[in-house]
Amino acid sequence: MNDQVVNIRGLHKHFRSAGEDVPVFENFSLSLNAGESLAVMGPSGSGKSTLLNVLSGLEPWSSGSIELFGKEMSPRDDARWASLRRSAIATVFQEANLMPALTLAENLRLRAELAGRESPDVTDWLEKLGLEGLDRRFPDQVSGGQRQRAALAMAFAMVPELILADEPTGSLDRKTAERVADAMFRFQRRNGCPLILATHDPDLAERCGRTLTLNSHG
Ligand SMILES: Nc1ncnc2c1ncn2[C@@H]1O[C@H](COP(=O)(O)OP(=O)(O)OP(=O)(O)O)[C@@H](O)[C@H]1O
Ligand SMILES: [Mg+2]
């Protein structure tokens, strides 16, 4: 059985911006096995978010090969990417992917249902992330940091096979950030769920099994 979750070989990713070619990855390779946690660090603009976007099928790449869960991916296979995002890959991005018309509790339940999981213990998940009492609030009735934590709770409720988190503690105070990191690593260990997180926080990176530092593109 292949326990390689991510296998990137010779990735090239360029953006075109104002008629210019902006190279972000040139011949980039990375592999991640089941149960591993990887911190992606590097200066602003080095490509951390781009890497997570590529791995969630939200950003096409120029050339190179990407295998997820042992299967070769194509940047054009929208149906397969959508299916992975529904049931296997949880993304926790700054622009939290919450449905605005649903309360936090309803968002969690919907996420689990779409992934074919059991209905989650919403109160418990929200409490673990310091969001007790907010279950009936709508996303626009909570703060940015609270929305981000609700997005993480949704990722847990989905019981994914891979979590991609973009600065999951970026907008949080130290104490809340630690609580969130505790919940994240506890979930990761308990479920053996591999985790890739982009962060500027060396303390958070230190808690990951591996760290990858991307270079700036000057
Ligand atoms: N849609 C886009 N069009 C053109 N260039 C882009 C686009 N998105 C990102 N870039 C460029 O790609 C590079 C990598 O951006 P990315 O957002 O991945 O950086 P990052 O490491 O996540 O930075 P930060 O720490 O600030 O979040 C930057 O030079 C950025 O300007
Ligand atoms: Mg970023």
**In this structure, is the dihedral angle defined by the CA atoms of residues 66, 69, 72 and 76, taken in order, positive or negative?**
negative
Please state, in angstroms and as integers, the Cα–Cα distance from residue 164 to each residue in 6, 23, 70, 184, 193, following that order.
Answer: 12, 22, 18, 11, 11
41 pocket-lining for ligand 1 (C-beta < 6 Å) = no
CA atoms within 13 A of residue 23's CA, in its CB half-sphere = 11
215 pocket-lining for ligand 1 (C-beta < 6 Å) = no
Point out the ligand 1 atom lying closest to the alpha carbon of residue 59: 1
- Report the DSSP pairing between strands 210-213 and 37-41: parallel
Q: Which residues are placed with Cβ below 5 angstroms of ligand 2, an ion?
A: 48-49
φ and ψ of 125, to 5 deg: -65, -45
List the helix and strand counts (H, then E) for the chain: 7, 9
CA atoms within 13 A of residue 110's CA, in its CB half-sphere = 13
22 pocket-lining for ligand 1 (C-beta < 6 Å) = yes
pTM of the model: 0.93
CA distance 140 to 127: 19
CA distance 198 to 38: 9
**Residue in 48, 199, 201 to alter for ligand 1 test, most ligand atoms within 8 A of Cβ:** 48
The residue nearest atom 27 of ligand 1, judged by CA position, is 44
Give the ligand whose atoms come closest to the C-alpha of residue 53.
Answer: 1
Point out the ligand 1 atom lying closest to the alpha carbon of residue 42: 21
45 pocket-lining for ligand 1 (C-beta < 6 Å) = yes
What is the per-residue pLDDT across 76-88, written as a single tens digit (0 to 9) for each?
999 999 999 999 9
Q: Evaluate whether the domain defined by 35-60+75-213 bears CATH number 3.40.50.300.
A: yes
Give the residue ranges of DSSP H helices in 37-192: 48-55, 78-87, 104-114, 122-128, 144-158, 174-191
Q: Over the chain (218 residues), what is each successive 10-residue block's mean pLDDT?
A: 87 90 95 96 96 96 96 94 95 84 95 92 90 94 91 92 93 90 93 95 95 85
